[in-house]
């Protein structure tokens, strides 16, 4: 799949994640129909797409002629001819199951139903289908049009292959799980790191802004180009991971035992709120800003 | 301190970390004398400085005329007139204590003794001094000439202020701890994240290369510009951290309880080694390479 031109995609739900997906897919050439039962969400879609489109124009100029973006309150209309259905309904199992029953009745039989779910797992969602092999989880890291990661899990290798090809053609980096797990991969890692970040504040080792500055100017920089396993492999010198584990495995195991298991007591929560309020007041993020004047229309 | 020109710095130990510090400090204008008792380490200093100097020339062209770089086996010679003494001896408490006793007898009384120690704490090193207020820990994230973070701890606020000003003038981002802790901040965070990364592999949730790809293309990207606390603050929407803790604190606490506590058994170690071998074979890092032709000398 070199381009998404001519590919039909359904996006279910016009919230933050749905809008971001829809802008991404159309930017890469797909024809997208967004379904949302709420009038206000449908009415806001066009305006809320402007920022993602502006980001994409800067980051990935002209990968393909932009696809058609439509919005509807008719589910069958959205699903018509779709090869992939990106579901972004609220994180509520009965609500998702009810939607899946409708989707299964209306969607093309070989369509991939890809759930963006963050908090739920494939195993929790699958009972919403007569044929659960139609379902995969395809969890983006927010916002999907900016962060490349899409975490995939499902029982049907052929559907996963097709989904992977599709997301790659939309400039994403799909990563596969072998079993489903709450938090997939990335949010498990983020949760583990934040637990220790909270512990450091709760124990008075360092302030909230110091913890964030240490991350951003140290391991965060490294992890933007190299994974944690690779960092220890390279840190092991000529012996690599094997050398690291032989020489430093026992001390790493002792370090693990010394990490914290904080509780979000009222006092800990207040320390986090006070600390982040102070950090936010001083923060200057390298946020994208729209150009002062809109680009002139093409000649 | 606008420039380090005229500032005298002693670097103790000409290993990887010492060489990196020495190149950094001289690049920013300081006069550095490196002490190492081993002939081979002293002889290799000049050649081993070439790569750090080349990186620095690219990343921070001409912040100041390069300072003088000398090397000696005479500790008193290295310490003469030094305002800061960056210690990089082996991570061995008796060996560091023995070196500190010599340093305390020879160094200018107001000099800052800054230990690069990674594995040890200020409290473990302080007994090497008659006056332990002379000591701070100043832990870089390897390699010090590339990664901005320097984690500082010590009991004397005036020395910490002077050290902070010095490291800032060398292009670093100093971060202060309120109490000393094994692993300082950054290695505690890295250790917590890697524990979960190992758990994910040990449990068969995902392969080594998938875990690394998820980190690099997801949270790693975010953490190169924004800390973990700030990410949850912004993730809380209009309510910020307070809103996040109210609505999602309990589910985060449940997530924490589900994180793993792996053991580095032979089977787990083998899975890590096999996985990283596969990942490394396919990896292409955006590593810096020297220019094909050396820059011509100035006219």
pTM (2 decimals)?
A: 0.93
What's the pLDDT at B281? 85
CA distance B36 to chain A (A): 22
Helices B39-59 + B16-27 axis angle, to 10:
50
pLDDT by residue for chain B (299 residues), tens digit each? 668 999 999 999 999 999 999 999 999 999 999 999 999 999 999 999 999 999 999 999 989 999 999 999 999 999 999 999 999 999 999 999 999 999 999 999 999 999 999 999 999 999 999 999 999 999 999 999 999 999 999 999 999 999 999 999 999 999 999 999 999 999 999 999 999 999 999 999 999 999 999 999 999 999 999 999 999 998 888 889 999 999 999 999 999 999 999 999 999 999 999 999 999 888 765 443 333 444 444 33
Distance in angstroms (rounded) separating the CA atoms of residues A84 and A33: 11
A296 pLDDT higher than 80: no
Q: Which fold does the domain B8-176 belong to in CATH? A: Rossmann fold (3.40.50)
Cα within 13 Å of Cα(B121), Cβ side: 14
Strands (DSSP E) contained in B90-224 are: 112-115, 135-140, 149-153, 173-176
A33-42: average pLDDT: 98
**Which DSSP state fits B131?**
S
A182, A211, A222 member nearest B258 (Cβ): A182
CA distance B40 to chain A (A): 19
Distance in angstroms (rounded) separating the CA atoms of residues B184 and B188: 7
What's the full length of chain B, in residues? Answer: 299
Instruction: Answer with the residue of higher pLDDT: A128 or A290.
Output: A128
CB contact under 8 A, A230 and B283: yes
A205, A221, A229 member nearest B275 (Cβ): A229
Q: Give the residue among A155, A111, A151 at the shortest CA–CA distance from A133.
A: A155
Distance in angstroms (rounded) separating the CA atoms of residues A266 and A273: 10
What's the pLDDT at B263? 96
Distance in angstroms (rounded) separating the CA atoms of residues B108 and B81: 6
A43-51: average pLDDT: 97
What's the full length of chain A, in residues? Answer: 299
| pLDDT confidence bin for A295, thresholds 50/70/90 | very low
Q: Are A86 and A21 in contact (CB under 8 A)?
A: yes
CB contact under 8 A, A223 and B223: yes
Domain range list for chain A: 8-176, 186-282
Are A8-176 and A186-282 equal in CATH topology? no
What is the three-class DSSP state of A176?
strand
Query: Phi-psi category of A29—alpha, beta or left, where left has phi over 0 and alpha has psi -120 to 50?
Result: left
A141, A149, A218 member nearest B141 (Cβ): A218
- Please list, residue by residue across B160-180, b when 16 or more beta carbons sit within 10 angstroms of its beta carbon and e when fewer do: bebbbebbebbbbbbbbbeeb
A297 pLDDT higher than 60: no
A249 pLDDT higher than 70: yes
Chain A residue closest in CA terms to B229: A212
Distance in angstroms (rounded) separating the CA atoms of residues A157 and B281: 24
**Average of per-residue pLDDT values in chain A:** 93
CB contact under 8 A, B221 and A219: no
Q: Looking up tokens 């008193």, which residue turns up? A: B76
DSSP state string for A21-46: HHHHHHHTT-EEEEE-S-HHHHHHHH
CB contact under 8 A, A224 and B228: no
CA distance A56 to chain B (A): 17
Residues of A in contact with B222 (CB under 8 A): 141, 147, 220
Instruction: Answer with the residue of higher pLDDT: A280 or A192.
Output: A192
Counting one residue from chain A and one from chain B, the pairs whose CB atoms sit within 8 A come to 315
Mutate to test the interface with A, among B183, B193, B278 (most CBs of A within 10 A): B193
CB contact under 8 A, A269 and B249: yes
**Strand-pair partners of A175:** A151
Distance in angstroms (rounded) separating the CA atoms of residues B116 and B17: 8
CB contact under 8 A, B205 and A185: yes
Q: Which two tokens stand for residue A206?
A: 């360092």
A148, A196, A250 member nearest B189 (Cβ): A196
Distance in angstroms (rounded) separating the CA atoms of residues B39 and B230: 48
Residues of A in contact with B183 (CB under 8 A): 255, 258
Mutate to test the interface with A, among B122, B223, B232 (most CBs of A within 10 A): B223
Q: Provide the pairing of β-strand A112-115 with A84-87.
A: parallel
CB contact under 8 A, B215 and A228: yes
Q: Provide the pairing of β-strand B149-153 with A84-87.
A: unpaired
Residues of A in contact with B230 (CB under 8 A): 212, 276, 279-280, 283
A149, A241, A273 member nearest B218 (Cβ): A149
CA distance A236 to chain B (A): 12
Q: Provide the pairing of β-strand A135-140 with A149-153.
A: antiparallel
Mutate to test the interface with B, among A177, A201, A216, A287 (most CBs of B within 10 A): A216
What pLDDT digit, counting tens, does each position of A172-228 carry?
A: 999 999 999 999 999 999 999 999 999 999 999 999 999 999 999 999 999 999 999
What pLDDT digit, counting tens, does each position of A75-84 carry?
A: 999 999 999 9
Q: Which helix (H) or strand (E) element contains residue A175? A: strand A173-176
Residues of A in contact with B205 (CB under 8 A): 177-179, 181, 185
Positive or negative, the Cα torsion across B269, B272, B275, B280?
Answer: negative
What's the pLDDT at B235? 84
How many other CB atoms are found less than 10 A from the CB of residue B124?
A: 16
What's the pLDDT at B21? 98
Chain A residue closest in CA terms to B218: A149
* Cα separation values, A140 from A105, A173, A203, Å: 26, 10, 33
Q: Which helix (H) or strand (E) element contains residue B12? A: strand B8-12
Instruction: Name the CATH code of domain A186-282 (choices 3.30.1280.10, 3.90.180.10, 1.10.1040.10, 3.40.50.2300).
Output: 1.10.1040.10
What's the pLDDT at A285? 56
Mutate to test the interface with A, among B176, B185, B209, B272 (most CBs of A within 10 A): B185
């Amino acid at each position: 799949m070199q381009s998404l031109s001519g590919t039909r995609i359904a996006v279910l739900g016009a919230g933050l994640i749905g809008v971001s997906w829809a802008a991404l897919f159309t930017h890469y050439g797909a024809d997208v129909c967004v379904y949302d039962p709420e009038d206000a969400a449908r009415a806001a879609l066009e305006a809320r797409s402007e920022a993602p489109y502006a980001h994409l124009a800067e980051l990935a100029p002209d990968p393909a002629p932009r696809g058609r973006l439509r919005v509807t309150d008719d589910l069958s209309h959205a699903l018509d001819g779709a090869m992939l259905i990106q579901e972004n309904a609220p994180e509520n199992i009965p609500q998702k199951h009810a939607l899946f029953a409708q989707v299964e009745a209306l969607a093309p039989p070989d369509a991939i139903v890809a759930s963006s779910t963050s908090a739920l797992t494939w195993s929790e969602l699958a009972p919403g289908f007569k044929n659960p092999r139609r379902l995969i989880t395809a969890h983006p890291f927010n916002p999907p049009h900016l962060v490349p990661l899409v975490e995939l899990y499902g029982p049907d290798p052929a559907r996963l292959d097709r989904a992977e090809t599709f997301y790659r053609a939309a400039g994403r980096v799909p990563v596969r799980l072998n079993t489903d797990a709450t938090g997939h991969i990335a949010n498990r890692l983020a949760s583990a790191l934040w637990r220790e970040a909270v512990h450091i504040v709760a124990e008075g080792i360092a302030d909230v802004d110091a913890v964030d500055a240490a991350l951003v100017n140290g391991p965060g920089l490294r992890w933007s180009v190299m994974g944690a396993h690779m960092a220890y492999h390279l840190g092991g010198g000529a012996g690599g991971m094997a050398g690291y584990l032989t020489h430093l495995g026992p001390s790493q195991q002792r370090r693990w035992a010394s990490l914290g298991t904080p509780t979000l007591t009222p006092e800990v929560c207040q320390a986090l709120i006070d600390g982040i309020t102070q950090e936010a007041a001083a923060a200057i993020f390298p946020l994208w800003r729209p150009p002062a004047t809109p680009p002139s229309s093409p000649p």
